[in-house]
Amino acid sequence: MEEALNARGIELITSSNPKAKPNVERSFWTLQRWIGTFFHTNGINCFEDFLGKIELLIDEYNKQFKKAEAVSKKSNVFRKPNTEIFEEEMNLVIKRKIVNHTVRYDNKYLAPFDNNGARVSMFESGEAKLMVTPENKLFFVEGKRKYEARVPKGNELSAIDVYAISKNLDPQHQGVRATIKTMLHNRTWTSSTFEKLENIFKNSANPNNKDIEFIKKLLSENLEKLNDITKEMKEFIDANYKSFK
């Protein structure tokens, strides 16, 4: 290509660093070798000839170097930010596992709060989207809504937190949480679920049904076991709470 240009009185001067961009340099070198032949075979002898056949040049270039195929596989990553999910705010998105309606970040357990200061529940065992602003402020995003992220206090605490604190236990200790959660669950089951099942049996069309009697017997036995478990857990916590600190 340089010889062809020099023959027409045109001097080509380039400056680059091949080591910095080897792929670009290799493509440019290959293009230089090919384009001179293209000019010769298509009768391009001046700039006007070049302008008249520029579309042909583009088509041949894309075929020769398979550029059209490469471009077709690419997608434009530049788009307008989605304001509904706060993309325009340039926040850092962090996904965190939900544990007892809180997420752990920077050694703190955070919960979402709405604009009125009311705590918002999160699905247990799911994932929450926590965002950090450039000013290092924290908030949760759920759908199109934003919630303040902070450590719950006082009446904002869960039943597990309240019970643990009342026993001088660490409410964030996983062993403590698991034990209290099971105990409270058993207590709830014995006080409400069993009563509801009893009402179902009482309102049954055939209260003397043998299957119902068998189920009632099993439930009574389970009720006694659950009460024993709850009692043992409570005694264990009262006697050994110091080991959890």
In sequence order, which residues have a C-beta less than 8 Å from that of residue 18 and are 6 or more positions away? Answer: 25
Q: Is residue 78 part of a domain?
A: no
Phi and psi at 85, nearest 5°, equal -115, 20
Q: Is residue 77 part of a domain?
A: no
The confidence score (pLDDT) of residue 149 equals 92
- 102 and 167 share one domain: no
The model's pTM is: 0.37
The confidence score (pLDDT) of residue 243 equals 42
Phi and psi at 138, nearest 5°, equal -115, 140
Tens digit of pLDDT per residue, the chain (245 long)?
Answer: 667 667 777 776 666 555 555 555 566 777 777 888 888 888 888 888 888 888 888 888 878 777 666 555 666 667 787 787 777 777 888 888 887 678 888 888 888 888 888 888 776 667 888 988 888 889 998 878 889 998 887 666 666 776 776 676 766 666 777 777 777 666 655 555 566 666 666 665 555 666 666 667 766 777 777 777 777 777 777 776 544 43
- Looking at 137, 152, 167, the residue that finishes a domain is 152
Phi and psi at 119, nearest 5°, equal -70, 140
- 147 and 163 share one domain: no
- Looking at 38, 72, 106, the residue that finishes a domain is 72
Q: Is residue 117 part of a domain?
A: yes
- Number of domains within the chain: 3
- 163 and 114 share one domain: no
Q: Is residue 16 part of a domain?
A: yes
Q: Is residue 207 part of a domain?
A: yes
- 140 and 166 share one domain: no
Q: Is residue 64 part of a domain?
A: yes
- 123 and 105 share one domain: yes
Q: Is residue 38 part of a domain?
A: yes
Phi and psi at 38, nearest 5°, equal -65, -45
- 182 and 139 share one domain: no
Q: Is residue 124 part of a domain?
A: yes
- 169 and 93 share one domain: no
- 190 and 238 share one domain: yes
Domain residue limits at 15: 2-72
- 234 and 165 share one domain: yes
- Looking at 72, 105, 128, the residue that finishes a domain is 72
* Residue spans of alpha helices (H) in 10-53: 22-41, 47-52
The confidence score (pLDDT) of residue 50 equals 84
